[in-house]
Amino acid sequence: MIDNPTSRSTIYPWHCDHMEHMNVMYYVGKFDEATWNLFCELGITFSYLKENQRAMAAVEQNLKYMQELHAGDNISINSHVVEVRSKAVRFTHEMIKVETGSPCATCEITAVHMDGVARKAVAFPDELSEKLHNAAASEEL
């Protein structure tokens, strides 16, 4: 788990649907923001991707909804690297309602490291692979 949350935000009225709770498309968006913050912590930065003509692609995403969120709620997302393979990483996000500390949703994602030009999966470089494995093996980055 990352020592600091990978994302913090507030639910606004425009995040909510006609049933007055946060719409699923915004859960996905908030988990996506946490993903890019997690990647940055692990060294998979925008600069790294651009300079090395690399890309990351989500190939599987599983969400669980446990509690509705409404306009005015504040959330925090904690992330954890679960599994590292030569060309892929699997990680989880847990969305927490800050006021109560209760989990609202979880998301598990498998992402593939790709050659940005050939659009094919490629192995993580040794330095990134080591960081990913260390993150998976520990409770902190």
pLDDT classification of 1: cutoffs 50, 70, 90: very low
Of 74, 35, 71, 70, which Cα lies nearest the Cα of 56?
A: 35
CATH topology of domain 7-137: Thiol Ester Dehydrase; Chain A (3.10.129)
pLDDT in tens, 12-49: 999 999 999 999 999 999 999 999 999 999 999 999 99
- Break the chain into its structural domains and give their ranges: 7-137
Predicted TM-score (pTM) of the model is 0.93
